[in-house]
A and B are shown apart, each in its own frame.
Chain A
């Protein structure tokens, strides 16, 4: 084969990774249960679990708040995936971007995709940063003061780490759903074990030597109810709210239509319980235990150091792999979102560009310190549009309203969706300011915002369709 042919073949192969983004997934491309168990487990047992678990310790939760609150919140999240997102994904077989285009028109989709893509880039940057806290561990020895075992890495060293690690993550995302799922599938069982063993082996250092000691130690040494300096107090309602809403853009916001459109049955939405109860229950509890041990030992509570404390090099490797497992699909989603805003760029080209943005974000240390606020902002911005998709498909026919109005009228933007989205977001911003910009308050704003957005969307759609009945059918 000649060189030009080889070059052409490379581009063709990369372009062949196009995964039916703009068409419904066909019957022969559907996947069974195994891949969804692995995908959810891999995606939600991630490097960020090493950040969020300690959050509950720092926010002064009690053991009951955490153990019961997470149980309830994660249950609500599983129900949201199974009964809200999965049935619509299976019914339409489209990504949420294309479903949104049908109801809101191409301009609304472009705005949504741009916002979503940027947020995903920032979140992927946070995941990359988490991985880097672990990879940085051996290098810290080179910057240690005399007599010390570890020092602080200079800024240029973090940039090199971001470029090297970020490039690997971007390549994984370029390989598409298949490459991401294979990586996730192979590492998921091992990651679960590492979280378990790290926590189990750390308990003796907290004074827990038998199962009967656990409840006492959990209250006295781990989730003590003492709020760390500069942190707000979490109650059980914050724990329930956070564990339900931290993935709201994926379930009620319909982001996981991208993945679940490949499901043979809507019941595969229940596979999310693998991610929720292994990742957002066991792993958060495990990392809380590690955090308490790190505080006791006077070690930094960053993901890398606490994992190393719990399982040595294996823990450090786990943080890296867990970071990749969530950064890759996040970047994949960002690529999908931003592809729609480009002039027919191929997937691999878009993903490489968003990978570069992710690397830049990972160079900013503040990105990991404000992860909870990032996650909440993500939910507040994107959840209303997921609500529109839900209402458009299930409620509009019962109300005598036309679904997919933008597609039917051929309009560039459907004003009810656009105005309701903006108004609901303004409602949240106003409520946030009214509560003196309390950084833990937005957790409680997501559901009210969803309700405001949905009510306004129905109201505006009535006004739109009664004042100008749909008579023309045009393919958007």
Chain B
């Protein structure tokens, strides 16, 4: 389960990057890119606590 969530987290970041490159290439409107970026952000912060270590070893 953790590994799936990890893939989802990084897929969200890649999607954000893809959206901005699409704006750069002129194939996506800036408003759509803003939505992609916000959705990617939400997915990142929802999924990352489940797989990233939350405690350090003292």
Contact = CB atoms under 8 A, between A and B. Distances in A.
B29 to A, nearest CB: 11
Interface of A: 28-29, 31, 35, 177-178, 181-182, 185-187, 189-190, 193-194, 196-198, 200-201, 203-204, 209, 311-315, 317
Interface in B31-58: 33-35, 37-38, 40-41, 44-45, 48-49, 52-58
Contacts of B48: 186, 190
Contacts of B54: 182
Given A193-B17, A196-B20, A201 B56 contact: no
Name the prevailing secondary structure of the B interface residues: helix
A398 B35 CA distance: 62
B23 A317 contact: no
B26 A314 contact: no
Given A178-B58, A312-B34, A190 B13 contact: yes
Contacts of A196: 17, 20
A178 B56 contact: yes
5 nearest interchain CB pairs? A312-B34, A197-B20, A314-B37, A201-B23, A201-B20
B32 to A, nearest CB: 10
A379 B26 CA distance: 45
B49 A186 contact: yes
B26 to A, nearest CB: 7
Interface string B1-39: 000000000000100110111011110001001110110
A35 B56 CA distance: 8
Contacts of A182: 54-56
18 contacts: A35-B56, A178-B55, A182-B54, A185-B53, A187-B45, A189-B44, A190-B41, A193-B17, A194-B16, A197-B16, A197-B17, A201-B19, A204-B26, A311-B20, A311-B34, A312-B37, A312-B38, A313-B38
Given A209-B24, A317-B41, 10 more contacts: A186-B49, A193-B16, A196-B17, A197-B16, A200-B21, A204-B24, A209-B25, A312-B38, A314-B34, A315-B37
A385 B25 CA distance: 52
A181 B35 CA distance: 29
Contacts of B20: 196-198, 200-201, 311
Nearest to A192: B13
Nearest to B33: A201
Given A31-B56, A201-B33, A312-B37, A193 B13 contact: yes
A201 B19 CA distance: 8
Given A204-B23, A209-B26, A197 B37 contact: yes
Contacts of A311: 20, 34, 37
A271 to B, nearest CB: 15
A187 B26 CA distance: 29
Contacts of B13: 189-190, 193
Given A29-B58, A178-B58, A193-B13, A201 B24 contact: yes
A185, A186, A193, A312, most chain B CB atoms within 10 A: A193
B49 A200 contact: no
A260 to B, nearest CB: 15
A200 B17 CA distance: 9
Contacts of B35: 312
